[in-house]
Amino acid sequence: AQKVTQAQTEISVVEKEDVTLDCVYETRDTTYYLFWYKQPPSGELVFLIRRNSFDEQNEISGRYSWNFQKSTSSFNFTITASQVVDSAVYFCALSEANFNKFYFGSGTKLNVKP
Amino acid sequence: GAVVSQHPSWVICKSGTSVKIECRSLDFQATTMFWYRQFPKQSLMLMATSNEGSKATYEQGVEKDKFLINHASLTLSTLTVTSAHPEDSSFYICSATDRLVYGYTFGSGTRLTVV
């Protein structure tokens, strides 16, 4: 069965601190996709990244970086030099290769204080 | 890029009435659309999956007669909450995929309040 675990319910940091959001997944599929979404208080889901199971390269996009490790079934997300605007709920998710189903983690609420 | 438009953004309705939420894929043909529900401070829960031209597949525990889903075209799916009650108040969000080029594209969500 597919499952995504975000063990951190809520994290609070002070602006400019680095913060890592953890994501651990379970799947028996060899081909799958992993995602991160940001959900600000307004509610919409903002797409951050999609990674397929065959691409273990880490990715950096500005202050955001992602560490994908199949050996530990983890897809962690790091925000460098956090800003107040980063405050939101962040969801990690897993989908089957044919986009048939999408499994969300429980989300991590990030509070960045000035 | 792929865009999914969801309307209305928010709606307030009286208990016992029905409300319809629309989800449109604007620049791609959505083979499959998904409807999610999110309670405050919780994750998104999949309610149902709909493929164009066929009946929706509901997740366990979701009442088919209460949450009517229609996916009549490749660009439009609707969710109708029938005989709404206060406990139906929630955030509803749709997503669409063509299963080829575009992965999942989410709508902006609808906040439903039943009074």
Reported as a single tens digit per residue, the pLDDT across B76-95 is 999 999 999 999 999 999 99
Q: Round to whole Å and give the CA distance between B70 and B1.
A: 25
pLDDT, averaged in runs of 10, over chain B (115 residues): 91 97 93 93 92 89 95 92 96 89 85 97
Question: What is the model's pLDDT at position B54?
Answer: 85
Query: Is B106 in Cβ contact with A50 (below 8 Å)?
Result: no
Round the average pLDDT of chain A to a whole number and report it: 94
* CB of B108 less than 8 A from some CB of A: yes
How far apart CA A86 and CA B20 sit, in angstroms, is 33
Distance of alpha carbon A68 from alpha carbon A77, whole angstroms: 9
Q: Is B6 on the interface with A (CB under 8 A)?
A: no
| Residue B6 contacts residue B33 (beta carbons within 8 Å) | no
pLDDT higher than threshold 90 for residue A10: yes
- Which residues on chain A are in Cβ contact (under 8 Å) with B95? 102
* pLDDT at residue A55 tops 70: yes
Beta bridge partners of A104: A93
Say if B99 is an interface residue toward chain A (CB within 8 Å): yes
Q: What are phi and psi of A70, to 5 degrees?
A: -65, -30
Cβ-based contacts under 8 A for chains A and B:
44
CA distance A110 to A86: 7
Place of tokens 């890592």: A20
Contact: B43, A95; criterion CB under 8 Å: no
pLDDT digits (tens, 9 = 90+) for A81-108: 999 999 999 999 999 887 778 899 999 9
Rg (CA), chain B: 13
**Which pLDDT does position B35 carry in this prediction?**
96
User: Which of B104, B90, B76, B96 has its CA nearest to residue B19?
Assistant: B90
CA dist A105 and A37 (Å) reads 10
